Amino acid sequence: MAGGQKKRARAAEEAQASQKSQKTTKARPETSKEAKSKTDKPKDKQEMTDSKASKGVEIPSLVTRQPAKDSFLVTAGTYERLLYGIEGRFVDDTLTLKAQFIFPAHIGCIKAVSVGGRYLASGSTDECIKLYDLKKRVELGTLHEHKGTITSLFFHGRTHMLSASEDGAICIFRTKDWEPLKVLRGHKGPITSIAVHPSGKLALSVSQDRTIIIWNLLTGQRASRTKTPQIGEMVAWSPSGNAYAVGYSTEFQLYKIGQAEAVATAFSKQRIQVMTIVEHKGKDYVLVGCQDKRVYIYSSEGTELGSVLCHENRIKGISSVDMTFPDEKVHTIVVTISSDGRVKAWRLDDLIESVLKTPSDNKTTDASDSQQPEALATYNADVRLTCVVASNNIFI
C-alpha cells in the first residue's frame, strides 16, 4: 500500500510540474457561493425547442466527425475520488501516455466523466457534478440539480451537456452559462445510461425500470418508450447515427434508427462491463469489454467475430478517439481501462484485424498468441478505475 501511495504521489508531482510548464492563463476559480448562484438558481428554465420541430421522432441529419489531432486526452475517474487526466502523444514515433493532472474531485466514488471541447464534467455518488475548464485548468463550479448518484454524463459538442442520475431525471445544461434548460422525466427508476445522437437531435436512456426511452431534444419531449427484457445497463449510438445498441448483463440488442424492434441480439458467456460502437473501413463494429479481461468484437449484425485479451483484470471502461499519426494518416485509438488501474491505448485497426481470418476461412475465433495485438501504450494509475472518456486534446 505504501508503495502505491508513493507512486501516486510521484505521478501527482509530475502532473503538477507538467501543468506549470504549460503557458496557460490562470483564471480565478469561483467560490462555492459563486458556483451555487450560477448553477443552482437558474433564471427561467427553457426548452430546447425549434418552432418548426415535429413532436415525433425526426430522423437526424448526419454530422461530420471532429477533425483528428496529433494528441488526445484520456480522462478517468476512480473509486478513490481522484480524477486523472492523461495525455496521449507520439514521441519519436512511439505513443506515450503521461499524466497531465491528478486531483481529488469529489467526496464520493466517481461514476461518470465526459468532455466537450474545453469543458470537463465528472459525476459522483456524492450527487454532484463538478465542472472544469481544461484550457485554463480551473474549476468552474458544481451543479446540484440531481438528488441521487450521477450515473451518466454526455456532452453534445461544446454547447450542451446531459446528465442522468439514480433520481430518474435527465438534466440538459447549456455550457455558455450552465443554465439548466430542461429536466426530462419519463423513467420510474434510476437511470443507468444515456447517449446523445451525433446530430444532437435525439437521446437514448435506459433505466432500472426496464425501459428504453428515445427523447426528441428539439421539443424536449419523449418520442417513444419501449420495454426491455432485462435492466438496460448501457446504450451507445453508432458513429454514423444510423444504429444504436442497448447492453444488458450478458447480452446486447442492436437497433436501426426508425425501427421499433431489435434487428439483432447477441449473447455473451461473460458479464458485460462496457460497450461502444466504432467504425472501421465503412462498417460498424460493437466492442464489448467483459469481466474475463477480454474485449469481444461483434459485427453490425450481432455476429461475434472474436476477442482480444486486453487486460489482466476485468475491464471497467472503453472509449475511442481519432488521432493523426506521425505518417499523417488518421487512425482510431481505442482506450481501455481495468480495475487494477491500467490504462491502455490500442489501434482499432489492430484489434479488428486480429480477429478477422483470411477470406478462405468461414469462422473467426479469439486472437491467438501470434495474432494478439500489442497495446500502443500503457499507463499504470495504481488505483481502482471506474470510468473513462477519450477526447481531442485541447492542451496544445
Please state, in angstroms and rounded to a whole number, the distance separating the CA atoms of residues 338 and 352: 20
Count of H-run helices and E-run strands, the chain: 3, 28
Other CB atoms within 10 Å distance of the CB of residue 159: 13
In this structure, is residue 21 part of a structural domain? no
Cell triple for residue 110?
A: 466517481
pLDDT tens for the 396 residues of the chain, in order: 455 555 555 555 555 544 444 433 333 334 333 444 345 433 333 333 333 333 333 334 444 455 567 899 999 999 999 999 999 999 989 999 999 999 999 999 999 999 999 999 999 999 999 999 999 999 999 999 999 999 999 999 889 999 999 999 999 999 999 999 999 999 999 999 999 999 999 999 999 999 999 999 999 999 999 999 999 999 999 999 999 999 999 999 999 988 888 999 999 999 999 999 999 999 999 999 999 999 999 999 999 999 999 999 999 999 999 999 999 899 999 999 999 999 999 999 999 999 986 444 445 556 655 578 999 999 999 999 999 999 988 765
Q: Is residue 14 part of a domain?
A: no
Please give the full DSSP string across 314-370, using - where no structure is assigned.
-EEEEEEEEEE-TTS-EEEEEEEEETTSEEEEEEHHHHHHHH---TT--------TT
* 24 occurs within a structural domain: no
In a domain, 77, yes or no: yes
Flag whether 242 is in a domain: yes
CATH of the domain at 60: 2.130.10.10
Q: How many C-beta atoms lie closer than 10 Å to residue 309's C-beta?
A: 14
pLDDT of residue 104: 96
Distance CA 184, CA 170 (A): 5
The order of strands in the sheet holding 243-247 is: 234-237, 243-247, 251-256, 264-267
Q: Indicate whether 5 belongs to any domain.
A: no
Which residue matches cell numbers 514521441? 91
Which residues constitute the domain of residue 62?
46-392
pTM check: above 0.85: no
From CA 191, how far away is CA 171, in angstroms rounded?
12
Q: How far does the chain reach from its first CA to its final CA, in angstroms? A: 35
Would you say 373 and 351 are in contact if contact means Cβ atoms under 8 Å apart?
Answer: yes
Angstrom distances, CA of residue 265 to CA of 230, 236, 248, 260 = 13, 15, 11, 14
At 59, the amino acid letter reads I
- 323: in domain: yes
CB within 8 Å of 364: residues ≥ 6 apart = 304, 305, 306, 355, 356, 357
pLDDT tens for each residue of 222-272: 999 999 999 999 999 999 999 999 999 999 999 998 888 899 999 999 999
Q: Is residue 369 part of a domain?
A: yes
Residue 76 bridge partners (DSSP): 84, 388
CB under 8 A, 24+ apart: contacts of 303-306: 303/266, 304/266, 304/364, 305/355, 305/356, 305/364, 306/354, 306/355, 306/356, 306/364, 306/365, 306/366, 306/367
How many domains, the chain? Answer: 1
User: Any idea how long the chain is?
Assistant: 396
